Amino acid sequence: MRKVVVLIALIATVFTACKESGKFKIEGKISNAGGEYVYLDLLKVNATEKVDSVKIGKDGDFKFTGDVAYPTFFLMKLNEKNFVTLLVDSAEQVQVAGDAANFSRDYVVVGSPGSELVQKLNLRLSRTKHVLDSIRSLHVLFRKDPNYQELKKKWDENYNEVMQEQIDYSTNFVRENPFSMASVLALYQKFDNDTYVVRDLNSLKIAASALNSFYPESDHVKALYANTLKLMSDERSAKMGQFIKEYGENSPEILLPNPDGKEIALTSLRGKYVLLQFWSSQDRGSRIINPVLVEIYNKYKRKGFDIYQVSVDENRYEWIDAIDKDGLSWTNVGDMKGSTSALNNYNVKQIPFNYLLDKEGTVIARNLKGPELDKVLGEMLN
């Protein structure tokens, strides 16, 4: 009942507060903490930064004010182990109330939708972890019980159910709140040091895209967006690796025009060892490696070696000029639009880059440098 009264009082205060344009205000009461300090820290991506501290009044009153350009995470701390996480937007009038003894576990916050969502997320995960800890403790208490194996099976099922309920809750939270910065917290919550709660890449992509469109200057959003791109790249790499492993003899086809406009298929070179090389006439690294490839090509072309070089250029004149100047006499293709389909099919993220294919088209090596390529070809063709 006391908490309900406090909540009603706080809500009334919020709606009657006179807002200062652009400034947020965090105020409230922390009982049994008079004369002590409460600290406000900025929660950054990989660290915290002290922002302010105030002495709590005899009756528990405190107040912080500040400026933020977008929803920002703060830690409001009594000490390193007793704190709450707030998500504060500009001009918000945030009211926080609690008792010093259990401040981090039982507090009331109003006037800040983001902070309320953060509290809901943290409390839900805290309860889940408590249940999981309780189940784990049963294993210790009853490990010598004659019926342990039967009990263990039941507890393991219960443990997995509790974990899945949390995963479903957090995943749905992100899907339902893609434009809330609270979703950043949901996406980085963990069951333990190694196990993230949300494991659905699609939810991650939706939230990263939505938040990046709203808060592109937020360091948390920048980190989330970069991490999402990396995970997407890793996923594509894993799929490509699995594809090569399972269907290496049928590696993705490439059909692009040569400088004369004639379309030449990668598969037209089957029966030879083929270096599939991605390059650009404007890339210094590509131009440096070209003379090395010329030397290797001339050394092994009569022994069943060929090169299929895919250009990512967009300027036809510069492409053809580079071919002439570098003396590239093998198959050279490119659509002068970046050859993006070929790049995506082979998960190429940088140039120059290559794959070595055997006579059946199976990928047998990737990104071989000059000496490595010469050694591999020497072992296979000599």
Show Cβ contacts of residue 135 under 8 Å, excluding neighbours closer than 6 positions. 155, 158, 159, 162
Tokens of 359: 């006579």
Q: Is the pLDDT of residue 234 over 80?
A: no
Q: Is residue 290 part of a domain?
A: yes
Provide the Cα torsion 205, 48, 87, 172; round to 10°: 30
Q: How confident is the model at residue 282 (pLDDT cuts 50, 70, 90)?
A: very high
* % residues pLDDT > 90 (the chain): 73
Q: Is the pLDDT of residue 291 over 70?
A: yes
Tokens of 342: 């070929």
Assign residue 18 the CATH number of its domain. 2.60.40.1120
Q: Is residue 244 part of a domain?
A: no
Does residue 37 contact residue 59 with C-beta atoms inside 8 Å? no
pLDDT tens digits, residue range 169-214? Answer: 999 999 999 999 999 999 999 998 888 999 888 888 889 989 988 8
Show Cβ contacts of residue 203 under 8 Å, excluding neighbours closer than 6 positions. 171, 174, 175, 187
Residues 349, 270 share a domain: yes
What is the pLDDT, as a whole number, of residue 193? Answer: 84
Phi, psi of 70 (to 5 degrees): -155, 165
- Of 239, 272, 303, the residue at which a domain comes to its end is 239
What is the pLDDT, as a whole number, of residue 347? Answer: 81
What is the pLDDT, as a whole number, of residue 236? Answer: 65
The whole domain housing 180 covers 120-239
Q: Is residue 21 part of a domain?
A: yes
Residues 99, 133 share a domain: no
What is the pLDDT, as a whole number, of residue 11? Answer: 43
Mean pLDDT for 314-341 is: 95
E strands, the chain, in order: 23-31, 37-43, 48-55, 61-67, 72-79, 82-88, 93-99, 107-110, 255-257, 263-265, 273-279, 305-311, 331-333, 353-357, 363-366
Q: Is residue 248 part of a domain?
A: no
Q: How confident is the model at residue 249 (pLDDT cuts 50, 70, 90)?
A: very low
* Mean predicted lDDT score pLDDT of the chain: 89
Residues 131, 223 share a domain: yes
**Of the listed ranges 72-86, 117-131, 160-174, 227-241, the one predicted with least confidence:** 227-241
What is the pLDDT, as a whole number, of residue 244? Answer: 55
Residues 259, 232 share a domain: no
| 373 or 239: which leads in pLDDT | 373
Tokens of 23: 């400034």
Q: How confident is the model at residue 237 (pLDDT cuts 50, 70, 90)?
A: low
| Cut 0.75: pTM above it | no
Q: Is residue 345 part of a domain?
A: yes
Residue type (1 letter), 113: P
Residues 232, 284 share a domain: no
Q: Is the peptide bond before 352 cis (omega within 30 degrees of 0)?
A: yes
* Alpha-carbon span 305 to 114, nearest angstrom: 62
What is the pLDDT, as a whole number, of residue 345? Answer: 83
Q: Is residue 34 part of a domain?
A: yes
Residues 29, 83 share a domain: yes
Residues 374, 320 share a domain: yes
Residues 360, 277 share a domain: yes
Q: Is the pLDDT of residue 14 over 50?
A: no
- Of 111, 136, 157, the residue at which a domain comes to its end is 111
284-300 vs 370-381: helix crossing angle, rounded to 10: 20
Q: Is the pLDDT of residue 17 over 70?
A: no
Number of folded domains that form the chain: 3
